[in-house]
Amino acid sequence: MAKLQPVRGTHDLLFDDYRMQAHIIEMAHHVAHTYGYHRMATPIFEFTQVFARSMGETSDVVSKEMYSFDDRGGESLTLRPEYTAAICRAFLSNGQQQNVPFKVFAAGPMFRYERPQKGRQRQFHQLDLELIGVAEPSADVEILAAGADVLDALGVLEHCVLKLNTLGDPDSRNAYRAALIEYFSDHKDKLSEDSLNRLERNPLRILDSKDKGDQALVADAPVFGDYLNTTSQDFFGHVLAGLDALGIGYELDSRLVRGLDYYTHTAFEFVTDALGAQGTVLGGGRYDGLIEQLGGPSTPGIGWAAGIERLAMLANQPAAPAKPVAMVPMGERAEALALQLGRSLRWQGLIVDQAFKGNVGKRMKRADKIGASHAIVIGDTELNTGVVQVRDLAKGEQTEIAIERVGDYLIEAKGL
């Protein structure tokens, strides 16, 4: 039988990897909490239309990358490829329209069928922050500040550059769309097949093309800034002024469009070259038309997502886990006492490792292997006198302690 392996594009999160991901989520949640965001979660699969309608039929995610399937009832379902549309669906489904601003933090697995590479898997994990119901540019500033603070808390911000663009309001977007269609229509013979398909439906997506021929055309394409109306210019100006007031640095990037159809006004990415080729660590933007696309009332929103796997390659290491205490009983009577004492010590907040078999020598080797700080040795003598031997494994010193005082002794010795 062939050796069992995880499915391509997935990986097991064993102890240190899981601890790192948990650390990233905990730190991000702490920062989000200081901004007044509440944690929530959505199911990992939704009706396919939740993503198809919101993200755009021409987006790579919908057209090429979604894991969609028909369930036994004939419904088309999709494993969650991103959080924003799912959270907006939850906002509507749970009648939260009266509870704006709706400020939420989420973290969990996403699924996209794409070529696995460094920091990108088919099942991957994201942090997500969404602010729904606020139309003012100050919401954009808060979301960007929260993203910067999350990256800073993880030790990642110093490796990143914030890139910013505006996609304008619908009027500006429509004017720019018409200009792009006119420009790219004159170069149809040089466009990739994907970009030809996007030309009439969503020409802005051509700007995000990875095809080298498309990129050469994009270099000379009209610039969005030339088509922004006064309203859009003023909005973006307030965002930039807010970032300046907070001392958050940025670079303007007129070609930054992000990959999904629902973005309007502010679009942004924190990018890094610390992993080799430049890559996005955290990105998002404003999506004032998304909830309306899902069948709800016109409702503004802005948010971002960050890939946890990529953050894990850049983030500071979490504090080492607390060292356990090893129980080393000798004989059946001692085993019974070890179980009782171990449970009592756990109630006091200590981590206790209970080996299940082996002589004293083997159990002491296990204590060293797991990095225990102390070993509690229990034998017949100890049972008869009501004491145990507590061995400090770093110092090599052993102390006789009354059973009822073991917990207090260890808490003091470990500085807890």
Rounded Cα distance, 169 and 210, in Å: 26
Model pLDDT, residue 190: 86
Q: What is the mean pLDDT of residues 8-28?
A: 94
Angle at the Cα of 106 from the Cα atoms of 102 and 107, rounded to 5 degrees: 170
In words, the CATH class of domain 325-413 is alpha beta
If phi > 0 it is left, if psi is from -120 to 50 it is alpha, else beta; for residue 97 that is alpha
With a pLDDT cut of 90, the percent of the chain lying above it is 62
Rounded Cα distance, 394 and 302, in Å: 52
Rounded Cα distance, 327 and 366, in Å: 10
End-to-end CA distance of the chain: 50
CA-closest candidate to residue 287, choices 274, 275, 304: 304
Which residue reads 């296990």 in tokens?
Answer: 366
CA-closest candidate to residue 168, choices 177, 160, 159: 177
Q: What is the mean pLDDT of residues 42-47?
A: 96
The yes-or-no verdict on residue 64 having pLDDT over 80 is no
Q: What is the pTM of this model?
A: 0.88
> In sequence order, what DSSP letters do the residues of 127-169 get, joined into one string?
EEEEEES--SHHHHHHHHHHHHHHHHHTT-GGGEEEEEEE---
The residues, ordered by sequence, that sit 6+ positions from 226 with a Cβ below 8 Å of its Cβ are: none
Which residue reads 């379902």 in tokens?
Answer: 77
Q: What is the mean pLDDT of residues 347-369?
A: 90
CB 251 within 8 A of CB 163: yes
Q: What is the mean pLDDT of residues 52-74?
A: 77
> In 3-state terms, what secondary structure has residue 121?
coil
Model pLDDT, residue 58: 52
What tens digit of pLDDT does each residue of 260-286 get?
Answer: 666 789 999 999 988 876 689 999 999
Rounded Cα distance, 281 and 302, in Å: 17
**DSSP secondary structure code for residue 396 in this structure:** T
The residues, ordered by sequence, that sit 6+ positions from 163 with a Cβ below 8 Å of its Cβ are: 250, 251, 252, 253, 256, 268, 269, 270, 271
What tens digit of pLDDT does each residue of 116-163 get?
Answer: 777 678 999 999 999 999 999 999 999 999 999 999 999 999 999 999
- Cite the beta strand spans of 181-278 per DSSP E: 251-252, 264-272
Structure tokens at 261: 């159809």
> In sequence order, what DSSP letters do the residues of 312-366 get, joined into one string?
HTTSPPPPPPPPPEEEEE-SHHHHHHHHHHHHHHHHTT--EEE--S--HHHHHHH
CA-closest candidate to residue 117, choices 257, 277, 6, 272: 277
Name the average pLDDT for the chain. 90
Give the residue range(s) of CATH 3.30.930.10 domains in the chain.
15-169+229-312
Chain length of the chain: 416
CB 279 within 8 A of CB 38: no
What tens digit of pLDDT does each residue of 146-158 get?
Answer: 999 999 999 999 9
Rounded Cα distance, 15 and 40, in Å: 25
> In 3-state terms, what secondary structure has residue 73?
coil
What tens digit of pLDDT does each residue of 82-116 get?
Answer: 999 999 999 999 999 999 999 999 999 999 998 77
Which residue reads 């470990």 in tokens?
Answer: 414
Which residue reads 């808060």 in tokens?
Answer: 142
What tens digit of pLDDT does each residue of 318-339 get?
Answer: 988 899 999 999 888 888 899 9
> In 3-state terms, what secondary structure has residue 270?
strand
Give the residue range(s) of CATH 3.40.50.800 domains in the chain.
325-413
The yes-or-no verdict on residue 2 having pLDDT over 60 is no
Model pLDDT, residue 1: 46
**DSSP secondary structure code for residue 379 in this structure:** -
The residues, ordered by sequence, that sit 6+ positions from 284 with a Cβ below 8 Å of its Cβ are: 84, 129, 143, 147, 258, 267, 268, 302, 303, 304, 305
Q: What is the mean pLDDT of residues 355-379?
A: 90
Q: What is the mean pLDDT of residues 351-366?
A: 88
Which residue reads 């890939």 in tokens?
Answer: 307
Rounded Cα distance, 321 and 290, in Å: 42
Assign 287 a pLDDT band (cuts: 50, 70, 90): very high
Model pLDDT, residue 65: 86
The yes-or-no verdict on residue 395 having pLDDT over 70 is yes
Model pLDDT, residue 82: 92
Amino acid at 289: G
Q: What is the mean pLDDT of residues 171-195?
A: 87
CATH 3.90.1150.10 fits 15-169+229-312, yes or no: no
Assign 259 a pLDDT band (cuts: 50, 70, 90): low
Structure tokens at 151: 């990256």
